[in-house]
Chain A
Amino acid sequence: MSNRVDIEDIFNEAFQDFKTTPSDNVWGNLETSLNNSFPETTYANKFSDFTYQASDSVWSAISSKLWLDSFLRFSLGNFNIYYAASIVASLFLAFSLLDFNKDKTNNIVSNDITTIKTVDKSNVNNNSNSNNKDIKNNNALTTNSINEINPVIDDSTSVSNNNDVKETLVVPTNNTSKINSSEDYYQEPIDVETKTVIKYVNKYITDTVTIFKTDTVILRDTVFKEVTKDPLAVVKSPWSVDLIYTPMFSNTTLGGPNNIVNKINDNTSPAYNWSIGLNLNYKINNFSIQSGIAYTNFAEKFSYSEETMEINKHQETRYDVVGEYTYIDKYSEWIITGMDIVPILDTVSSSYEIHEYEYNGVAIIDTVWTYQTDTVMVQTYDSMEIVHYDTITALKYDSVDVVIIDTLKTRSFYEFVNRYTYMEIPLILNYELKHNKLSYVFGGGLITGVFLNAKGKGISLDDEVVSLEDLPFMKLNLSGIVNAGVHYHFNPKMSILFEAVYRRNFNSIYNNSYFLEQRFNSFGLKLGMRYRF
């Protein structure tokens, strides 16, 4: 059929270059629509790939923060605060042991030599008055005099005047006496006495001549009493009291379901902790027992984002088209095609009369009927019946009850510093090694903590954020503590204390019924003042 024409072709030809101008309202509506979303679309488009250069200091700050964070967390592979504390403690210990041995050696030497006196040869020819004077002066010997008993020959003039013979006076050894030349700040009363001594002159250079002379010389003869006690022994009472402030950093050791433990570990970081307290010390020789009371505040930073899902369910009925069917609807109608008016004679009423009479001797009965008629004009119609056949296509609907689940995700961010406060009673045994104005102290003990309160947020077994106030805390906690440090003595009564402290909970801070175990590991610096009674 070569004459066949495609409808597409017809439309293409007709509308290929068809143009028409829309009404003026169209642009207005379009512009209004654009304007309604104007600022947000502008901002969204403009800032979708917007960049801005931060200053160089930002990375330095980030880097420092990361370093500090890793420094405060224990990790085998990285240098951290725990390694640093170990090194400091080891150094303290090493230096202290060295000092201790040195002191011990000095004491032995003093015991052997006992008292060594330097002869002031210029006094040899003095008269007895001057002797008395010198002796009197010696009563006023001060700590400077202690330096004169250095066991070296300090009178070079006398050596040269005496044919190169160095002279040293030696008092026969008295094993009960002892010189402790290093305690220069200790002002024990000094006994001064005059003695006639045997001069023992040793010729060092020729090593052959030894001369004994019994000679009375005027000596600055200072004999010290035995000093075997701690220089601080002048303070009679063994009691002392400390006022302590301990800044600390803590991390926690957790036990429990791995997923929760990992989550808590990832979301907590060390924070500044502190403890303040008053301790009483009782000293027995180099040991002291310490106890008191402290208010301790443990803390950790809790930074957590939680995604919650809110599900709203509601039911509604939906109608789905499941098919269609066609039926023919038949109906008919009558159409009047013409009209006529026809008169109709209608008998309205009828009556009759009976007349009886005689006619010719015949009785006649005559019945006469009377009819009353009415003529009515009646319309008549010509009609035609039209039958319609309407084909109807109907859609089949299926009503379905649908449950609509509306899911709303919400992310909540928590930034808290969790705080746990305890009233604590320490019981610590310390050992002190003294050197001049310093004492090196090592100790350890137990701390019993009474739980006071906790504030902040935690994660429950259901992975939900919960308030610490609602959690079951152990009322009593036991911790172990080790400390090493140095005390500086301003005077026999007052000292300041610097001690590195490491402490750790023995038991979990939560009740056994709780799914999580948490123990604090704290490292800090104990600072304090000590007053001796």
Chain B
Amino acid sequence: MQDLEKIIEGCQKGQRSFQKLLYDRYSPVLMGICMRYAHTSDEAEDILQEGFVKILKQINKFEKKGSFEGWMKRIVVNTAITNYRKNLKRYNQGELNDYNSQFHSTSMYEADFTHEELLNIIKELPEGYRVIFNLYAIEGYKHKEIAELLDIDVATSKSQYSRAKKSIRQKMEEISKINIE
């Protein structure tokens, strides 16, 4: 396993072999992020490709102060957001109904769900809702930041997140029930 610093230095010099090493090491993690934002795996690969090109082109800007992996993840997330903004017109901006049903006290645990099931649940969300859920719940952005990034109101971000959350809960309940049966 090559030392990460050497790989970064090699990439900063534009050496293709080091770029490939970096890709081999981090593409699975970054692809995991892309899968959460994209509707299909093809779209996820497009985001990964674009994001990785940005990483390699901007790697000279990386100041070795923070986590390199975190830096790369931020770039990929931002690429996914850019991709979403770029395709706003193309996407079918669906709306989620405001579920009236309250969350039942069904016991659900993380272990009850596979990655695939969880991915499928968020993929069923309309694009905007999915992006907001990812940014808030997983990436840890604040609603104000999300509103700035997606050029929407803070209230919109909050309400869409709330609806997305309810929708996800309901789907998780359904899956949970099926698994129990």
Contacts and interface: CB of A to CB of B under 8 A. Distances in A.
Contacts of A318: none
A44 B136 CA distance: 10
B31 A51 contact: yes
B113 A54 contact: no
A46 B49 contact: no
Contact of A51 (B32, B56, B108): B32
A66 interface: yes
Given A35-B103, A46-B115, A412-B148, A52 B23 contact: no
A378 to B, nearest CB: 74
20 contacts: A38-B169, A39-B168, A42-B113, A47-B115, A47-B138, A51-B28, A52-B44, A53-B31, A55-B45, A61-B49, A62-B56, A63-B16, A65-B53, A66-B53, A266-B61, A303-B54, A408-B144, A409-B145, A410-B145, A411-B149
Please classify how large the interface on chain B is, using the bins under 10, 10 to 19, 20 to 34, 35 or more. 35 or more
A406 B149 CA distance: 19
B110 interface: yes
Interface of A: 31-32, 35, 38-47, 49-55, 57-59, 61-63, 65-66, 69-70, 266, 303, 305, 408-413, 415
Given A66-B53, A408-B145, A413-B81, A42 B48 contact: no
A303 B165 CA distance: 33
B169 to A, nearest CB: 6
B87 to A, nearest CB: 12
Given A63-B16, A413-B81, A42 B165 contact: no
Contacts of A39: 137, 165, 168-169, 172
B177 interface: no
Contacts of B32: 47, 50-52
B105 A35 contact: yes
**Main SS class of interface, A:** helix
Contacts of A32: 105
Most chain B CB within 10 A, of A50, A55, A303, is at A50
A57 B61 CA distance: 27
Interface string B117-145: 01000100000000001001110100011
Most chain B CB within 10 A, of A41, A53, A58, A70, is at A58
A62 to B, nearest CB: 5
A58 B27 contact: yes
B175 to A, nearest CB: 12
B160 interface: no
B4 to A, nearest CB: 17
Contact of B23 (A40, A41, A59, A412): A59
Contact of B110 (A46, A61, A69): A46
Contacts of A42: 108, 110, 113, 118, 172
